[in-house]
Amino acid sequence: MDRLSLQEIQRAFVEPLEDFVREAGVRMAVLINRGGQVLAQSGFERLYDLVGVASLAAGINASSRALARQLGEDQFEHLHHAGEARQLFLGHFESAAGQLMLITVFDENSSIGLVRLFFEAFVHRIQRLPSMDTARRSVSPKDFESELETSLDRFFKDLVGG
């Protein structure tokens, strides 16, 4: 089976995402898994704006899927919300890393047609990647556990101001 190096894993998601952003002319895009965890992003300046968007989108995806099942469908097609200046597209697809979702924000420099077109191309690229669970381990579980207690003490001291 093909194996990905660490640099390849990083590039595996990031390069197709950056190509998508450029070709579709969108402002921002983020690739998440079903739990709302971020796998790659382009265009978000603050990490925390990004995780907020990702968690809300995962919520929309989960509730849309649950609604679809109640109505006898497996899952609805992609979601598109249009505002006055900005539009949002949420597209889901299956991959070797489970169900993933692309969230993208665009304005008058793009259109829903363009976004859908390049979304399909993006999905093809991600689906051609080797399995994502072949990454090499680079952390010692023993070190991790032994550092855990002291790290948590330090973190919580920092968090609550001592």
Partner 1 sequence: MSLVNYATREITCKIVYYGPGRSGKTTNLQYIHSRVPWDRKGEMVSLATDADRTLFFDFLPLELGRISGFTTRFQLYTVPGQVYYNATRKLVLQGADGVVFVADSQRSQLESDIESFRNLQENLLERSIDIRDIPVVMQYNKRDLPNVLDMERLEEDLNFRNVPSFAASALLGEGVFDTLRAASEGVLKKLARKLETSADVAAGG
Which residues form the interface with partner 1 (CB under 8 A)? 4, 6-7, 9-10, 33-39, 47-49, 51-52, 55-56, 59, 62-63, 66, 95, 97-100, 132-145, 147-149, 151-152, 154-156, 158-161
Pick between residue 64 and residue 114 the one whose CB is nearest to partner 1: 64
The rounded distance, in Å, linking the Cα atoms of 90 and 153 is 40
Q: CB 56 → partner 1: shortest distance, Å?
A: 6
CB of 136 to partner 1, least distance (A): 6
Q: Whose structure tokens read 């010692």?
A: 140
Nearest partner of 56 among 75, 38, 36, judged by Cα = 36
CB nearer partner 1, residue 13 or residue 20: 13
Nearer to partner 1, 4 or 115 (CB): 4
| Smallest distance from partner 1 to CB 84, Å | 22
Closer residue to partner 1 (CB): 13 or 110: 13
Least distance between partner 1 and beta carbon 60 (Å): 10
Q: How far is the CB of 20 from partner 1 (least distance, A)?
A: 18
**Nearer residue to partner 1 within complex by CB, 26 or 39:** 39
Q: What angle do CA 98, 132, 2 make, to 5 degrees?
A: 135
User: Which residues neighbour 78 within 8 Å (Cβ) at sequence distance 6 or greater?
Assistant: 89, 90, 91, 92, 116, 119
What's the gap between Cα 160 and its chain centre?
31
- Give the start-end residues of each E strand in the chain: 28-33, 38-42, 79-82, 87-95, 98-106
